[in-house]
Amino acid sequence: MKKQALQPYAINSVSELHRILALPKPEHPLVSVINLDEIQCFADESLKSVVFNFYSVCIKKDFKGKLKYGQNYYDFDEGVLTFFSPGQVISTELTDDLKLSGFWLIIHPDFIQNYPLAKTIKNYGYFSYAVNEALFLSEKEETMIASIMKNIEQEYYANIDYYSQDVMVSHIELLLNYANRFYNRQFITRKNASNDLLVKLENLLSDYFANGKVRELGLPTVHFVSESLNVSPNYLSDLLRMLTGQSTQQHIHNKVIEKAKEVLTTTSLSVSEIAYQLGFERPQSFNKLFKSKVNVSPLAFKHSFN
């Protein structure tokens, strides 16, 4: 009889997380800064795979266990900053001697509900990065992020007043903006690896169109491209914007237009035939994309060469 897979354990509140980790009751019901040194690790099969229904920002130092994301395991022996949005499944290899160090900021979505951050937080792509795309911090950067977390902690430990939530939300926004800056720095310092990824992207798209995969599978999607390159969709788009100023979707469109120009000027195929050949379900969609990129219709472009 096949063994049934263990379903992820859902943790829905800050209080529930504190209880599971055997920590004192949180000072604030919707936001908390947890010192990882205070967590007593234990091997509990039901908690090997969990879903956190809140935002998490975590500085991990000297992490001796293994974290799993998808089918891959990653070792963390240096200080890294990771981000998780509500609903993501995180798996951990739990052991009795697992050692943790660092700080963990927990933000329930309700805490920022009436603030612009509730919408803009979705624009921070790193909340959907894979674990292996974590932010590696310099000592100075780590100190800065930890200081902001401690400011949030001090705010809810003080007497809560009319401005407390505003101040804490401002600190959260500051932390996220610094993380944006640090990620851009990481893209630059890893420029060789980033450029290699750009080359692989170009080769992937060229092969996709040259070998007729577009006829069989349709236009390549951002998910297909990122999966083929073994990176998360948001990480790939953010990296490409840093390198080229364009997202993954824009790179795909550029390749479509490049191929379309080639076919329009070297064959006698009609615009509709070319649209279907390039993976479009409707010629109108092809016409619209081509005109938005080239400023003339495919037919006008074809006639200009004839």
What is the residue-level pLDDT of the chain in tens, covering all 306 positions? Answer: 444 556 778 889 999 999 988 899 999 999 999 998 887 765 566 667 788 899 999 988 765 555 544 444 444 445 688 898 898 877 665 555 556 788 999 999 999 999 999 999 988 888 888 767 888 888 888 899 999 999 999 999 987 888 999 999 999 999 999 999 998 888 877 777 778 888 899 999 999 988 878 888 888 999 999 999 989 899 999 989 888 889 999 999 999 999 999 888 888 889 999 998 888 888 899 999 999 999 999 888 888 876
* pLDDT for position 14: 93
Residues linked to residue 10 through DSSP beta bridges, in sequence order = 51
Tell me, yes or no, if the pTM score tops 0.85: no
* pLDDT for position 51: 85
Question: Is 38 exposed, middle or buried (CB count within 10 Å of its CB: 0-12, 13-18, 19+)?
Answer: exposed
Please count the other Cβ atoms lying within 10 Å of the Cβ belonging to residue 245. Answer: 8
Q: Which helix (H) or strand (E) holds 175?
A: helix 164-189
Strands 9-11 and 49-52: parallel
DSSP E strands: which ranges in the chain? Answer: 9-11, 31-35, 49-52, 55-60, 66-69, 72-75, 80-84, 88-93, 102-107, 135-136
- The answer to whether 11 and 50 are in contact (CB under 8 A) is yes
Q: What is d(CA 254, CA 250) in angstroms, rounded to the nearest whole number?
A: 6
Q: What is d(CA 275, CA 84) in angstroms, rounded to the nearest whole number?
A: 40
* pLDDT for position 121: 93
Q: Which of 141, 171, 143, 144 is nearest to 155 (CA)?
A: 171
* pLDDT for position 73: 46
Strands 88-93 and 102-107: unpaired
* pLDDT for position 2: 46
Please count the other Cβ atoms lying within 10 Å of the Cβ belonging to residue 161. Answer: 10
* pLDDT for position 98: 58
The H helix count followed by the E strand count for the chain is 12, 10
- The answer to whether 27 and 156 are in contact (CB under 8 A) is yes
Judged by DSSP in three states, 207 sits in helix
